Chain A
Amino acid sequence: MGCGLDMVDASLESPAVEMTNVTKYFGPVEANHKINFNVRAGEIHCLVGENGAGKTTLMNILYGLVQPDEGEIRIFGQPVTIHNPLDAIKLGVGMVHQHFKLVESYSIAENVVLGREPKKGIFVDHTKAIEITSQLSKEYGLAVDPNAVIRNLPVGVRQRVEIIKTLFRGSKIIILDEPTAVLTPQESRDLFATISNLAKGGKTVIFITHKLKEVLAVADRVTVLRRGRLVGVLNRDEVSEQRLATMMVGREVLFQIAKTNASPGEIALETNNLKVSNDLGILAVKDVSLVCRKGEIVTLAGVEGNGQSELIEAIAGLRKIESGTIRVNHTDVENKPPRKVRGAGLAYIPADRISTGLCIRETVEENLIAGRHINQPYCRGIFLQLSKIREYTQNAISQFDIRVSSPNVIAQTLSGGNMQKVVLARELLFDSDLLIAVSPTRGVDVAAIEYIHKMLIQARDRNRAVLVVSTDLDEVFQISDRILVMCNGEIVGEFDPRITTREVLGTYMIGARKNGDGISTTAA
């Protein structure tokens, strides 16, 4: 502590973070190769790259979760070895993960001080905790009520609590791992304001993302990684969306996929007054009636946890309904097992690839053929026709560009994007009349997003009905022919993407407005 003044001096001159020649292998996989990563003190630095580019690995090294094979780290000019997150915290490095680590039943103040509680004798000094929280909250413009209980708070506020937590632990460098993945547009905007407040307050912010608009919105400087290597470092004035995308992917990327107007035909999916309960027995879907016609893409937009997953699971036959009707191709399918719904003409890409969409302990081949394994020519009598199955799998693998060394690879070993391609390949090849895709591009990189969107539009052009559930407004606007907004278990509005705006959708998504509030939103 005696050298406190020297530390301040050093921090003014030397970069906050200086990682030199950092290399990390996971088995034969090169996660980071001789990466040099510099962050100036007090700047907002974006770290961008596709999935699997090595962003998270690099940050996990900085936060002590992963040990590098080679390389040197300096924090404010001091060479350091970071063995674990505790070391990192001592050095003033804090990280806000994608999945929050908060105690749901505790208040904000209690969560902030958890682990380092101010004491009064043997008891926790609650007054002090509240004081600490409100002081930090004021100082950095992070509006929170210290007494509010986490359970009742929206994601945006929870994230603020996580940031306050890192501040309380004395972080000077704050790493945010894809912080906007869970936020609405409004919440994201608040977050960007918070981030610039942090920077103004002298904190250094490292912002991991693969959303290019966010980079443009906040970054002072940008470091781009591709396949474990450093591609380049750009200043704010050198950055454009197209340039970043090209650097990330290594080729030109199309943002707006050419798409003709929809020509909706016959109804493929129809629900009437559907009511569905969630796992806790609480009504999560309240009276939803919707239709999806062949030849159109309908997106169900909304903040996660507003009944979308229960609604889709009910349609797919994975969840019992309370009342109402569901028809797929004019067949009543409510409370029928998934195989009956599939029989009626449903293909379904679930949100959760690992536990629902795939059997990760089976091979890629088994995952691709499943569901079709009972049909000719892949099965005769009780016997699987292994050579026919192999032929089919190899076709699917090349058609969907699934990168595997062999169809016999266990699905667990694939990257997130490749896993998604396996699910996509299997479901798209069913050629069913109705395709439901839940967050089809979550966690996949820019090039894969482009590809997945193309495939969905292609499915529509082949006169299939496509229903997409998405929390990502870029996606919603890019592919929709019609947008339904779901909030609190109800469909609160229907929009034409050509004449509505993100801001309008946002207000509906967070429940600030509802159909019948006097604003006409629907185009005929």
Chain B
Amino acid sequence: MIEKFFPKGLNRFWSSLLSIIVAIFIGAIIILLNGDNPVTAYQSMFNSSLGSIETLAATLAVATPLIFTGLSVAVAFRTGMDNIGSEGQLYMGGMAAALAGLVFNGLWGPFHIAIAIAAGFIAGGIWAWIFGWLKVRYKVDLVVTTIMANYVAILFTSYLANYPFKPPSAPIGSTAFLPDNTKLPQFFPFSTLNAGFIIAIVCLVLVWVLFKYTRIGFEWKTVGFNKTYASYIGMNIEKAMLSAMFLSGAFAGLAGAVEVLGVQGRFVQNMSPGYGYDGILVALLAGNTAPGVFAVALLFGTLRIGGIGMERVTNVPSELSQVLQSIIILLVAGQALVYQIRGVWRQRKHHELGKPLRS
């Protein structure tokens, strides 16, 4: 029965697309029940997110941090490291970038920016590496440690932003504004879209190249599939796990650094509306691939910005985008579950027959 709904040939891309179409369809029913015209609603959603340069810029600006955190989670998950601590790594990276921006003074602009970004990259990476090391050395469960580490990182950076580094004038917990020459250039006067988006694209390409063309990417993938085999064949699995964990944290750190340098101009407590957690969803929907992360981050951006526009033009509340997003996630997650059940079922069947697994 299951096979009927999810034929074998249907690959992830098409089935994800199908999930999106089904979600849009269900959303249309909800809009109808709300007494609105779904066609106009979706039209306004499209126009206000992708319809013009201004709206496209807004969408890409929302997508930027999601690309970073999506990549962060994807790299870790593909290596079999359950890093769900991107949120905390983002804060550590953001604080490190802010401090690097404040401490150094009078440097040449691009050089100063590079230092701040590197600080964010390294701080996020080290913060994640610590828990990777605990996992490799003492087999401490990553889900537990990284989620706890989120609280530690968020509260620790809040403390720094409220006490040692808070300028007297600041009304909320934040650092002082960074010197102007550290500001990431913005492309348009009307949008916060900035050079951080370019960095995100570079990271996307980097991850794609790493997994497709390099030996470390091959090792990450292999370790993620089967640690026993990876070790047997002579790969240094500890090194692979730790380097993947570092890079994962580093991407989350970049999300924080870009938020500080490109959007806020300083570190602000609670500046992330959960980008790290969204990254888990992005990676899940993207099947942990770089092109997937780009597509899903863009989709999330479209839904969020489009939802606001839709609310302006029609009576449909912008929360509908949240509903659509949730339906898509449910469908894709449900589908992953179906695959898993089918896999287990098939495995059991083959085990009974005493035959090797075949598909």
Contacts and interface: CB of A to CB of B under 8 A. Distances in A.
Contacts of A386: 213
Nearest to A340: B234
Q: Quick one: which of B221, B351, B352, B353 has the most chain A CB within 10 A? A: B353
Q: Quick one: which of A178, A338, A357, A371 has the most chain B CB within 10 A? A: A338
A443 B356 contact: yes
B215 A342 contact: no
B214 A382 contact: yes
A177 interface: yes
Given A177-B354, A366-B218, A416-B355, A355 B234 contact: no
B357 A379 contact: no
Contacts of A338: 231-234
B155 interface: no
Contacts of A414: 358
A56 interface: yes
Contact of B234 (A60, A342, A353, A356): A342
A359 B230 contact: yes
A262 interface: no
A359 B226 contact: yes
Interface in B324-359: 351-359
B236 interface: yes
A356 B232 contact: yes
Nearest to A66: B353
A65 B353 CA distance: 9
A183 to B, nearest CB: 15
A239 interface: no
A413 B359 contact: yes
Given A339-B235, A339-B236, A384-B214, A419 B356 contact: yes
B222 A359 contact: yes
B93 to A, nearest CB: 24
Main secondary structure on chain B at its contact with chain A?
helix
Q: Quick one: which of B221, B222, B229, B351 has the most chain A CB within 10 A? A: B229
A373 B225 contact: no
Interface size class of A (residues with CB under 8 A): 35 or more
B169 interface: no
A356 B222 CA distance: 12
B228 interface: yes
Contacts of A371: 233-235
A87 interface: no
A97 interface: yes
A383 B232 contact: no
A348 interface: yes
A413 B358 contact: yes
Interface string A350-384: 10011111111110001000110110000100111
A235 interface: no
Nearest to B349: A65
A333 B309 CA distance: 66
A56 B352 CA distance: 12
B195 interface: no
A316 interface: yes
A177 B225 CA distance: 32
B216 interface: yes
Nearest to A27: B8
Contacts of B234: 338-339, 342-343, 371
Interface string A406-433: 0000101111100100000000000000
Contact of B358 (A97, A337, A343, A415): A415
B195 to A, nearest CB: 27
A426 B107 CA distance: 55
Contact of A361 (B225, B228, B236): B225
B232 A316 contact: yes
Interface size class of B (residues with CB under 8 A): 20 to 34
B218 A373 contact: yes
Nearest to B228: A356
Given A348-B232, A355-B229, A357-B232, A374 B215 contact: yes
Nearest to B216: A382
Interface in A154-191: 177-178
A140 B221 CA distance: 55
Contacts of B235: 339, 370-371
Contact of B215 (A339, A355, A357, A379): A379
B228 to A, nearest CB: 5
A165 to B, nearest CB: 16
Given A339-B236, A348-B232, A99 B218 contact: no
A318 interface: yes
B229 A358 contact: yes
A98 interface: yes
Given A339-B236, A359-B229, A56 B355 contact: yes
Contacts of A337: 231, 236
A512 B235 CA distance: 42
A98 B354 contact: yes
A56 B230 contact: no
B231 A318 contact: yes
Contacts of B233: 338, 370-371
A371 B221 CA distance: 14
A360 B225 CA distance: 9
A350 B356 contact: no
A360 B353 contact: no
Q: Quick one: which of B228, B233, B355, B358 has the most chain A CB within 10 A? A: B233
Contacts of A56: 353, 355
A355 B228 contact: yes
Q: Quick one: which of B218, B231, B356 has the most chain A CB within 10 A? A: B356
Interface in B230-281: 230-236
A388 to B, nearest CB: 13
Contact of A412 (B213, B214, B231, B359): B359
A69 to B, nearest CB: 16
Given A339-B231, A348-B232, 9 more contacts: A337-B236, A355-B226, A355-B228, A356-B228, A359-B230, A370-B222, A370-B233, A371-B235, A415-B358
30 contacts: A65-B353, A97-B352, A97-B354, A316-B232, A318-B232, A339-B231, A339-B234, A354-B356, A354-B357, A355-B228, A356-B232, A359-B225, A359-B226, A359-B229, A361-B226, A362-B221, A362-B225, A370-B218, A371-B233, A371-B234, A373-B215, A373-B218, A374-B215, A382-B216, A384-B214, A384-B215, A384-B218, A410-B359, A416-B355, A416-B356
Please name the 3 residue pairs, one residue from A and one from B, whose CB atoms are nearest each other, closest first.
A339-B234, A98-B354, A371-B233
Interface of B: 213-216, 218, 221-222, 225-226, 228-236, 351-359
Interface of A: 56, 60, 65, 97-99, 177-178, 316, 318, 337-339, 342-343, 348, 350, 353-362, 366, 370-371, 373-374, 379, 382-384, 386, 410, 412-416, 419, 443
